[in-house]
Amino acid sequence: MDRRSRTAPVRELPSRSALITTLTPNPSIDRTLAIARLERGEVLRATTANVEFAGKGINLARVLTTNGHRAQAVIPGNPDSLADLIAALDRAGTETHVVTIEGTVRTNLTILEDDGTTTKINESGPHLSAAAVDALLDTATEQAADSQWLVASGSLPPGAPADFYVQLAQRLPDPSQKLVIDTSGGALARMAHTPCAVAKPNLEELASLTQKPLWTLGDVVDAATELQSHGWGTVLVSLGGSGAVLVDDEVSYGNSPAGDIRNTVGAGDALLAGFLAGGAKGPAALHNALAWARAAVRSTDTVGPPCTDEDRSAVTMTTDVPLDMSVGHG
C-alpha cells in the first residue's frame, strides 16, 4: 500500500503532561506595535504596544504552560538585565535556566496592520564566545535528562557555530528519541543527516533542504520521506494558511482556518507545542497542533490565550491525503 494514503484511527491525547525542555540560543525581547496601515516615510501612531520575552523556544514553552503543560527554557543572557522578564515567565509557570553571557539580548520589532499583515524586523543578537556555546550546550543536555523532549529552535547568534544543533545531538544519548528541531538556513541544513525525533520545517525550508520545487502535498510528503531516510523520525511540515502535513509512520493532513487572524508570529511555535503536547504521533497530535496554532494567530500577542473548543472544532483532518492539492511554489 502507498504509505502516503494509509489510514488509522485518531488516538486519545495523553492524560498527563511530561516535562518539555526548550533551548533558545538567540532569545529576544519582542516589541509588537499595532497600527492601521504601514506607510513608508510617514509618521505613524501605534494603537497598541506590547513587550514580551520571546524567541522560538521561549514561545513554545510559554504556549505549553498557557495550556497547562510543563515546560522549562534554557537561554543565554544577562540575568540582571532580564530579571523582570524572567520573573514574568516564572510566574506563568515556565522555569528558566540562564547561561550568563556578555552583551545584551536582541530586540525585535513586529508591526501588525489592521488587515492582518505582519511585518517583523529582527536584530542579529549578541556574540557568543566558545565558552558560552559549550555552557549552553551542556546546560541544555543536563536539563533535558529528565524531560520527554528537548526542543532546539530558532536562529543562531553571532559566534555560534553552524553545526551548533549537530553538536547538541551528539551530546544526547539518543537524539532520535528526544531531540526536536525547529530552525532554518545553514543550521537546518547541517541537521539534514543528523538523527532527531521530530523536525518541523516550513514549506520554504523543506524545499531548500531537498533542492526540489514543492507544488503539491504529494511533493511535500515525498520530500519529508526523503529526510526521514536520513535519520529524521517524524516530519511536521507547516504550510502557513494551507495547514500542515505530518509524515511519521503514516501521513495525515489538516487545516484550521481562521477569519480573524491578528498576528502570525509564533504560529509555528504554537503548532509544534500543540503537536508535542498531543503525543507527537499521528492524527490526534496534528489535530491538537492545528488547534493551538489557530488560537495563537487570533491574538495580537506572540503567544495567544489557551486553546478553546472553538479552535478545536475548526480543525479539519484527513488521512486520505489529497496528494495533488496545490500548496505553493516551494
Tell me the percentage of the chain whose pLDDT exceeds 70.
Answer: 93
Residue 13 has pLDDT above 90, yes or no: no
Say whether 163 is catalytic.
Answer: no
Between strands 232-238 and 196-199, the pairing is: parallel
- Structure-derived torsion over alpha carbons of residues 172, 175, 180, 183, reported in degrees to the nearest 10: 80
Q: In what order do the strands lie in the sheet with 232-238?
A: 95-100, 71-77, 20-23, 149-153, 179-182, 196-199, 232-238, 244-247, 251-255, 316-318
Structural class in CATH, domain 18-318: alpha beta
3-state secondary structure string, 248-312?
Answer: CCCEEEEECCCCCCCCCCCHHHHHHHHHHHCCCCHHHHHHHHHHHHHHHHCCCCCCCCCCCHHHH
What gap in Å lies between CA 116 and CA 94, rounded to an integer?
29
Distance separating alpha carbons of residues 59 and 75, to the nearest angstrom: 12
Catalytically annotated residue among 30, 219, 248, 269: 269
pLDDT category at 259 given cuts 50, 70, 90 is confident
Hey, CA dihedral for 91, 92, 97, 100, is it positive or negative? negative
Supply the mean pLDDT for the chain. 90
Q: Order of strands, edge to edge, in the sheet holding 118-121? A: 48-54, 28-35, 106-113, 118-121
pLDDT tens for 33-58 read: 999 999 999 999 999 998 889 999 99
Report, as an integer, the average pLDDT of 302-327.
Answer: 91
pLDDT digits (tens, 9 = 90+) for 203-243: 999 999 999 999 999 999 999 999 999 999 999 999 988 99
Digit-coded pLDDT (tens) for 154-195: 999 999 999 999 999 999 999 999 999 999 999 999 999 999
